[in-house]
Structure 1
């Protein structure tokens, strides 16, 4: 693991940023900041229903603000931070720049990815849906492609979480960050 900086976990919904982040923090003794939880707390809602209870534009603004603050805090906590960032805020230039600063300062940026079918199941999209909702799978697949590309562009390493437990994925993060650092 890159001992000189924090670990930033990026990934589309269902890739495991929160659960792998918890496992990684527990395994390494680092402090976890889970952006999804931080944003929900700021908005006064539950993380699992935040995007339903709050208009998306308001959520995304809070998400970007919280991401930048968490990345600044992670810089201050060298090397004791794990930041589960996700991918929803990666279209914001200020967030991408802050991730780049962490990376440039010796942090390890990890893209957690998984097969689309696994991500659909993890997000509850593997059940029949009303036609009134439109083509949910096409929309989800399009969003996954965009977010996966953004994650790959910023990442030092990629970990596929398909068929892994959070602890197994966390171990892969440790190994791949160490290899990327040349340890």
Structure 2
């Protein structure tokens, strides 16, 4: 069973750096718990009518962060399944405040931690990641060094994804939360 809804909002929120597996782990948890999954990067793309990378290039990072903040605060109220946040969503003070309110109401925020060695192949460290242009490995490490304290601040639970497939990470999260997979009908 998924964690009980302590308050309105998602059953669990996933945060972490690019390559941690937020989207794929979110999908795995949603499938296991028979819940909907929502990704705030997808919400931003829907509102903007273009990709996250295009928002960065055409409108700039401040506009992207504004759209991202709005996507997170909306999803924290509207969505009752598994919610995956973009890697930099936690940087905005309003988003952190919303996550703190969500946690204070009994919500669960899982920090999916990953090392550079394991993130690199997942991310591909290519140009589709706007903040990793230039020296991608150095940029990723600098982002992680700056963001780690914020991920830790907003998280209820930290789970390393190094060397694990999405389903295995979902199992670790279930173990950490003391919940179990929803059994299939007729199983």
TM over 0.5: yes
Which of 57, 61, 74 is the aligned partner of 1:69? 74
1:19 pairs with 2:20? no
Change (3 A) 1:54 1:170: farther
User: What CA distance in whole angstroms lies between the structure 1 residues aligned with 2:33 and 2:113?
Assistant: 21
How far residue 88 of structure 1 moved from its aligned partner, in angstroms, is 0.8
User: What CA distance in whole angstroms lies between the structure 2 residues aligned with 1:135 and 1:105?
Assistant: 41
Check conservation: 1:2, 1:107, Cα contact below 8 A. Answer: no
Partner of 2:45: 40
Equivalent residues in 2 for 1:164-175, closer than 5 Å: 164-175=164-175
Gapped regions of structure 1 (runs ≥ 5): 127-132
Equivalent residues in 2 for 1:145-156, closer than 5 Å: 145-156=145-156
How far residue 134 of structure 1 moved from its aligned partner, in angstroms, is 4.7
Tell me the matched-pair count.
168
Gapped regions of structure 2 (runs ≥ 5): 127-132, 180-187
Partner of 1:98: 98
Partner of 1:85: 85
User: What CA distance in whole angstroms lies between the structure 2 residues aligned with 1:16 and 1:49?
Assistant: 22
Give secondary structure in 1 for the equivalent of 2:98: helix
Check conservation: 1:32, 1:83, Cα contact below 8 A. Answer: yes
Partner of 1:123: 123
- With normalisation by structure 1, the TM-score equals 0.82
User: What CA distance in whole angstroms lies between the structure 2 residues aligned with 1:16 and 1:83?
Assistant: 12
